[in-house]
């Protein structure tokens, strides 16, 4: 589409000059200059075959590319641009437009090379810089689409162009759309701009019993709304009994342009349209969109004072007229074309642009106005946008974000109507609770869920499994517990997530009926001073104690059998005490801690994990001096290192912090 229906609803026809049926070259140039792009391509095609003048052929190649680009036929446009480049077309713009066409056809590597070639001649042109960025992000957006669900609506589409659907009054049971399908009032009258029929307005109802749309019918056959000229781009009041639409009138001797008309429904029929006089200094006033309160009318115009191309403007209703006409400014409008505005029930503005960074052709953008009057603009990305033209979004007034829009993306027969639906974000968490020692799922465990949104739940995980839905923008903590086990916790964070997500949180409870090893507690040889690396491991023990605030523990330090019994006993006691001192330093109540050095008196019994790690050990082997002496020298060093350990065991689980008031309180 690109400029087909920009031109269709924003035509600025110059006085049509005479065109010799023989001089196709001159005729093609004249047609192109007055915006009759389809007719121009026909004339140029004939001229290219007959006219052997190399200057003419060079210009024909470029202008044919321009004409095809303006009617959205990027494949043919690329062919002609490539011909113009090979013939030495002197202006650098041909490279930019050629790159745009390659990008629209998803030939990103070739497009990047041409953009870079263009930037060598025209450094820092934002159009080319945007094109390069689009070549990078478009494949990413297509590979990682948003949550929108998009599908063609077969019942609303024909072999001709069908576009700009509008829900009457924002309700979901009736749509007005614009179409060039067979049956238009103008009959077989062909547009010299698009090569298709002149467009009319059609209405279609949703058939509840069949759960699908019916067959579109002419909105009006009396000649009041639909005329031999072109009608399209509609907006309706919230009640659906008032409509503003675009009309493009044609006269081969007068430049008429496009205008907006208002009409009211009376006894089931539309009344005589009334011209809305907005801009006397512009030939283009088109594509209306009413705000939810109907006090603001958005529209498209090329009025002087804009930012280039087509701009979006707004007018404020005063009585029965619209005044205070304002350009929406350079946050919305660009040197390119901003077209097809629409407003959802919350007041967000949606529009299409061929200049803001997008995937190709026209992309749909959402613009939200903040309290400071600043527009925040976002590209709707894939699958709403494509490398083709995407425009004319219309919403059903409901809490759900759903409606219709238009696209000529690959797979479309022309401009086709597509449905869109943005499902709510769904966040789920599921998990299992295990015995950390055996690896078996624990039955009859409990879990507590606390969230920053105020969630505070307690549930029973009878079979060791749990699952639940989570809320948006919330941080959650999941704490599992069972008598005879240390608690464990996990977390999930939905803050800032743009898409639905399933979380997995598995929790491992450590049984308290046996000593629990604290890994990586190391000292200098013969010393009880903790090495820095040991403090990291002890910080994890701090976490355990904070997660299990009612337990008291005994810190157990062990040595290997090297050295005297007295030395090992004294050393192990001091090492155990150094651990306690560190934990107290970290804020753990000393009443919860007991230091005990066992020297070499309590050799380690091999666990299942140790047996898996060391093939020379078996589960339940006791690493006594006698057992170790049977091993190889290398194996003996490993066994002695295992015996040099720090462990803790739970002494009780009924500790409660007491508060001692200071003197004078």
pLDDT in tens, 302-319: 888 889 889 999 999 988
Query: What number is the average pLDDT over the span 94-114?
Result: 94
Residue predicted with more confidence, 665 or 506? 506
Residue 250 CB: number of other CB atoms within 10 A? 17
What's the length of the chain?
665
CA distance 641 to 477: 37
Burial status of residue 218 (CB atoms within 10 A of its CB: 0-12, 13-18, 19 or more): middle
Lowest mean per-residue pLDDT among 110-114, 290-294, 334-338, 538-542: 538-542
- Residue ranges with strand state E in 249-332: 258-266, 269-270, 274-276, 285-290, 296-301, 311-318, 321-327
Name residues whose C-beta falls within 8 Å of residue 165's C-beta, 6 or more positions apart in sequence: 156, 175, 176, 177, 392, 394, 404, 405, 406, 417
d(CA 329, CA 385) in angstroms, rounded, equals 24
Residues 353/354/355/356 CA torsion (nearest 10 deg): 50
Residues 6+ apart with CB under 8 A from 591: 552, 655
Question: pLDDT (tens digit, 9 = 90+) per residue, 521-535?
Answer: 877 667 788 877 788
**Predicted pLDDT at 10:** 36
* Residue of 423, 387, 417 whose CA lies nearest to 405: 417
d(CA 579, CA 572): 11
Distances (CA, A) of 564 to 136, 559, 560, 570, 638: 70, 11, 10, 10, 20
Q: Does 663 or 47 have the greater pLDDT score?
A: 47
pTM: 0.75
Q: What pLDDT digit, counting tens, does each position of 595-645 carry?
A: 999 999 999 999 888 899 999 999 999 999 999 999 999 999 999 988 988
What 3 state SS string does 202-241 have? EEEEEECCCCEECCCEECCCCCCCCCCCEEEEEEECCCCC
DSSP state at residue 156 = G
When pLDDT is cut at 50, 70 and 90, the band that residue 158 belongs to is very high
Instruction: Give the span between the Cα atoms of 336 and 409, in whole angstroms.
Output: 21
Distance (Å, whole) CA 188 – CA 191 = 9
Closest CA to 519 of 503, 535, 505: 535
Helices then strands, each counted (H, E), the chain: 13, 35
Peptide bond before residue 383 is cis, with ω within 30 degrees of 0: yes
What are 446-474's pLDDT values in tens digits?
Answer: 999 999 999 999 999 989 999 999 999 99
Q: Give the three-state DSSP class for 393.
A: strand
Name the average pLDDT for the chain: 88
Burial class (CB in 10 A: 0-12, 13-18, 19+), 474: middle
- E strand or H helix at 391: strand 390-395
Question: What integer pLDDT is reported at residue 17 of this predicted model?
Answer: 30
Query: Encoding tokens for residue 551?
Result: 């337990």
> For residue range 483-492, what is the model confidence (pLDDT) as tens digits?
999 999 999 9
Rg (CA), the chain: 38
Question: What proportion of the chain, given as a percentage, has pLDDT over 70?
Answer: 92
pLDDT of 661 over the 50 cut: no
Burial 313-330 (b: 16+ CB within 10 A, else e): bbbebeeeebeebebbee
Identify which of 424, 427, 496, 499 has the alpha carbon closest to the alpha carbon of residue 467.
427
Q: Which of 441, 440, 424, 423 is nearest to 432 (CA)?
A: 441
pLDDT at 281: 59
pLDDT at 438 over 50: yes
Q: What is the DSSP string of 341-368?
A: EEE-TT--EEEEESSSS-SSSSEEEEEE
- When pLDDT is averaged across residues 285-289 and rounded to a whole number, the result is 94
Q: Which residues contact 620 (CB under 8 A, 6 or more apart)?
A: 605, 606
Q: Residue 9: enclosing H or E segment and its boundaries?
A: helix 4-9
Exposure string for 517-538, b = 16+ CB within 10 A, e = fewer = bbeebebeeeebebeeebeebb
Task: Please give the Cα distance from 165 to 393 (Å, whole number).
Answer: 7
Helices (H), 241-328: none
Cα→Cα distances 37→4, 176, 310, Å: 9, 27, 18
Q: Are 480 and 488 in contact (CB under 8 A)?
A: yes
Nearest to 355 by CA among 109, 525, 563, 100: 100
């Amino acid at each position: 589409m690109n400029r087909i229906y920009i031109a269709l609803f924003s035509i600025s026809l110059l006085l049509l000059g005479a065109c010799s049926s023989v001089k196709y070259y001159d005729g093609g140039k004249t047609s192109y200059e007055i915006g009759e792009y389809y007719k121009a391509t026909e004339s140029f095609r004939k001229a290219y075959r007959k006219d052997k003048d190399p200057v003419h052929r060079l210009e024909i190649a470029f202008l044919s590319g321009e004409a095809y680009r303006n009617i959205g036929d990027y494949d043919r446009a690329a062919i002609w641009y490539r011909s113009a480049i090979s013939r030495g077309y002197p202006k650098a713009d041909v490279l930019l437009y050629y790159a745009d066409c390659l990008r629209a056809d998803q030939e990103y590597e070739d497009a990047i090379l041409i953009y870079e070639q263009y930037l060598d001649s025209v450094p820092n042109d934002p159009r080319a810089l945007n094109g390069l960025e689009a070549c990078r992000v478009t494949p990413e957006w297509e590979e990682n689409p948003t949550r929108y669900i998009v599908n063609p609506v077969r019942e609303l589409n024909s072999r001709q162009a069908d576009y700009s659907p509008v829900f009457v009054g924002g309700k979901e049971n009736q749509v007005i759309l614009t179409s060039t399908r067979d049956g238009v009032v103008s009959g077989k009258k062909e547009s010299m701009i698009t090569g298709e029929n002149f467009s009319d307005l059609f209405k279609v109802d949703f058939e509840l019993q069949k759960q699908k749309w019916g067959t579109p019918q002419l909105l009006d056959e009396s000649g009041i709304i639909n005329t031999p000229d072109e009608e399209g781009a509609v907006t309706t009041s919230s009640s659906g009994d008032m409509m503003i639409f675009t009309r493009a009138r044609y006269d081969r001797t007068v430049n008429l342009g496009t205008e907006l008309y208002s009409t009211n429904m009376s006894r089931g029929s539309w009344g005589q349209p009334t011209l809305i006089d907005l801009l006397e200094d512009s030939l283009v006033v088109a594509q209306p969109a009413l705000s939810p309160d109907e006090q603001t009318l958005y529209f498209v115009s090329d009025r002087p004072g804009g930012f280039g191309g087509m701009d979006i403007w707004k007018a404020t209703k005063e009585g029965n007229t619209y005044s205070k006409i304002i350009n929406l400014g350079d946050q919305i409008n660009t040197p390119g074309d901003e077209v097809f505005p629409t407003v959802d029930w919350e007041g967000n503005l949606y529009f299409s642009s061929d200049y803001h960074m997008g995937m190709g052709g026209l992309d749909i953008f959402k613009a939200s106005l903040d309290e400071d009057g600043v527009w925040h603009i976002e590209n709707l990305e894939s699958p709403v946008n494509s490398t083709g033209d995407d425009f004319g979004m219309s919403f059903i007034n409901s809490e759900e974000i759903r409606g219709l829009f238009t696209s000529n993306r690959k797979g479309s027969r022309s401009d086709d109507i597509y449905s869109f639906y943005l499902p709510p974000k769904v966040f789920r968490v599921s998990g299992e609770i295990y015995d950390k020692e055996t690896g078996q799922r624990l039955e009859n465990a409990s879990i507590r869920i606390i969230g920053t949104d105020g969630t505070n739940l307690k549930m029973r995980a009878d079979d060791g499994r749990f699952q639940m839905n989570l809320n948006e923008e919330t941080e959650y903590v999941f704490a599992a517990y069972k008598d005879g086990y240390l608690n464990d916790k996990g977390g999930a964070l939905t803050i800032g997530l743009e898409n639905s997500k399933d979380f997995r949180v598995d929790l491992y409870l450590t049984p308290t009926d046996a000593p629990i090893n604290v890994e990586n507690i190391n000292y200098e040889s013969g010393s009880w001073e903790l090495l820095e690396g040991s403090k990291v491991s002890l910080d994890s023990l701090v976490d355990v104690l904070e997660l299990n605030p009612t337990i008291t523990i005994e810190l157990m330090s062990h040595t290997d059998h090297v050295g005297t019994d007295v030395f090992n006993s004294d050393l192990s006691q001091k090492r155990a005490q150094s651990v306690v001192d560190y934990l107290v330093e970290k804020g753990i109540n000393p009443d919860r801690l007991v230091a005990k050095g066992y020297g070499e008196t309590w050799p380690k019994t091999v666990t299942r994990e140790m047996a898996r790690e060391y093939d020379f050990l078996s589960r339940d082997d006791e690493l006594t001096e006698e057992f170790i002496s049977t091993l190889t020298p290398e194996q003996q060093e490993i066994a002695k290192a295992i015996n040099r350990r720090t462990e803790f065991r739970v002494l009780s689980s009924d500790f409660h912090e007491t508060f001692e008031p200071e003197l004078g309180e």
